[in-house]
Chains A and B, each alone.
Chain A
């Protein structure tokens, strides 16, 4: 009897600890054929193991602190009719599931996995296929979304959702996910103090990453490739972006990175490769750009109205059709100490800094920013001639837009350790 009581005490203790709680198995042949019935039977802290099979249960509401762990890729199928997992309890863990076929809705934002007003969740190693909105977080905090693969089949912008959608969240970490074929790969609105790291966002209709009204976030190590228009960061403060790759955002209205009304940000060690526009800036101030690579873009930097006090240092501008385009005569930004592949100056004292300033705004790019139609003269002999004569003696292009200490050699920032 005494022994039994001790055992009971230990069992009680064990079950109170979430990782060591009871186990409820879901499987076609077991006592709990559906995930819903397993959640009903489970206690707080239990683990629900989902065995292989296809579960067609419509919407499943997770209202207990449980872990739902898929073994052998069980499939949760919404049959195109409803949302699938809705998490409303704290400390829920979801992993190893295949969630599919949510179906398009024009009335509600259905999601494969939704977290509503919950904290401390972990969503990892799931595969979401054709789920309208993939993972949808609203009013959530302190959670992790990692190692998920989210694939969509979006064709039209207005009939598609975002792969990872965050709305009013804090302290979220989105790490090493692969998202493709949605409207936006990752969408953040009113999300503070969060980290977006090492994700791969490809072939989304609109943006690879879309950032609105979100302050104090970091994003790094992400790769954005072949999206409608790369990354848009708007109306946000204190954002750090580093070691991201923006590539092949190539189209008439496309760009690698769009910055609109961004202040006090740091953008460093990123690669912008083969974008129509590398960075499009609009009303941005006090941003520091350093150690970025801009290669083979149409425009490396395109500035529109009201960009003040931006500093560009030690970036590489290699083989861009235009390095910089600005439409204003006065310019308050600093461009000193970059490498420009078109620089034709000399370095007599051999300190690897060019002796004559470099003017990154070509006359033609200046003309184009004022008269867009003149772009039809791109690559004509006349344009080459006027560019050349302007380079020799600048008359029209803003004289204060200049790099006074252009580097002679490519700056290999990859070898500099990140502090």
Chain B
């Protein structure tokens, strides 16, 4: 598996787009620092972009990579290599390269602007963790969809739809339920519903770390109490990890059965 991972990784590294993606984050972060040298403000501005963009880009890259390298995959399948290691190797290759570009794109400007001496290092790490785990989750989900669907267009649209659902539609439904059931205590529900959407959960995790959390009033306090406690935090992180593990397990299941 490691060999294939290494191959996929170097394959991705050769691609022009991964550099453009890294460069985009580098430029964006530097531009934000140029506008305001306050680390905490830059983290807030970056948060929205990372929460929306990193899953989208990861999902798209993943789908495209699988569809592009289909012939090579078929070649590999003819060799005496375990099926799961082929697909896992490819998936981790894509996911790792996405995470690496995020790490470089964000990390370098932040280090340059004095991350280590400021008190914001934990907030930055939460942001980075959120970005990386979202990249992992969404490239996994997209890879799974690409494996499942023979039709390229269908796979592509499903991936976009999945992203749209978690980034936008889910929040809409969530808000609708909150407004409709206004008369009931909804804090627990809000907490539960956030756990089922990785993007939402990542956003809440970051917001609670920043001082903007004061705006969140009583509901924020309920979240803070939950996520501030060791079991609450473990549940949140576990939920993100389950989200990341689900597609890996799915890839294995499909890979075992799939007829090429």
Chain B residues proximal to chain A, CB less than 8 Å: 44, 47-48, 51-52, 167-169, 171-172, 174-175, 178-179, 182, 186-187, 189-190, 194, 200, 203-204, 207, 211-212, 214-221, 223
A376-B190 in contact (CB<8A): yes
Q: Name the residue in A253, A374, A376 with the highest tally of chain B Cβ atoms < 10 Å from its Cβ.
A: A376
> Provided the pairs A370-B179, A371-B179, A373-B190 are in contact, do residues A378 and B214 lie with their beta carbons within 8 angstroms?
no
Picked from B171, B211, B215, B220, the residue with its CB within 8 Å of the CB of A383 is B171
A374-B48 in contact (CB<8A): no
- The docked-state distance in angstroms from the alpha carbon of A157 to that of B50 is 42
Q: Name the residue in A254, A377, A380 with the highest tally of chain B Cβ atoms < 10 Å from its Cβ.
A: A380
- The docked-state distance in angstroms from the alpha carbon of A172 to that of B168 is 58
A376-B218 in contact (CB<8A): no
- The docked-state distance in angstroms from the alpha carbon of A276 to that of B216 is 10
Does A354 belong to the interface (CB within 8 Å)? Answer: no
> Provided the pairs A373-B190, A379-B203, A379-B207 are in contact, do residues A321 and B212 lie with their beta carbons within 8 angstroms?
yes
Prevailing SS type, chain B contact patch? helix
A372 / chain B contacts, CB cutoff of 8 Å: 217-219
Interface size band for A: 20 to 34
A378 / chain B contacts, CB cutoff of 8 Å: 207, 212, 215-216
A375-B216 in contact (CB<8A): yes
B167-A276 in contact (CB<8A): no
Does A252 belong to the interface (CB within 8 Å)? Answer: yes
- The docked-state distance in angstroms from the alpha carbon of A374 to that of B200 is 12
Instruction: Report the nearest B residue to A253, measured CB to CB.
Output: B217
- The docked-state distance in angstroms from the alpha carbon of A102 to that of B223 is 41
30 contacts between A and B (CB under 8 A): A250-B211, A251-B214, A253-B217, A254-B214, A276-B215, A298-B212, A321-B212, A367-B175, A370-B179, A370-B182, A371-B178, A371-B186, A372-B218, A372-B219, A373-B219, A374-B175, A375-B215, A375-B217, A375-B220, A376-B194, A376-B220, A376-B223, A378-B207, A378-B212, A378-B215, A379-B44, A379-B48, A379-B212, A381-B51, A381-B167
Task: Tell me, rounded to whole Å, the shortest Cβ–Cβ distance linking A260 to chain B.
Answer: 18
A284-300 residues with Cβ-Cβ distance < 8 A to B are 298-299
A240-273 residues with Cβ-Cβ distance < 8 A to B are 250-254
Chain A residues proximal to chain B, CB less than 8 Å: 250-254, 276, 298-299, 321, 367, 370-386
- The docked-state distance in angstroms from the alpha carbon of A379 to that of B200 is 10
A252-B217 in contact (CB<8A): yes
A380-B182 in contact (CB<8A): no
- The docked-state distance in angstroms from the alpha carbon of A365 to that of B214 is 15
A375 / chain B contacts, CB cutoff of 8 Å: 215-217, 219-220
B171-A380 in contact (CB<8A): yes
Instruction: Report the nearest A residue to B194, measured CB to CB.
Output: A376
Task: Tell me, rounded to whole Å, the shortest Cβ–Cβ distance linking A327 to chain B.
Answer: 12
- The docked-state distance in angstroms from the alpha carbon of A384 to that of B218 is 22
A276 / chain B contacts, CB cutoff of 8 Å: 214-215
Picked from B186, B200, B218, the residue with its CB within 8 Å of the CB of A252 is B218
Picked from B44, B168, B169, B179, the residue with its CB within 8 Å of the CB of A374 is B179
B215-A371 in contact (CB<8A): no
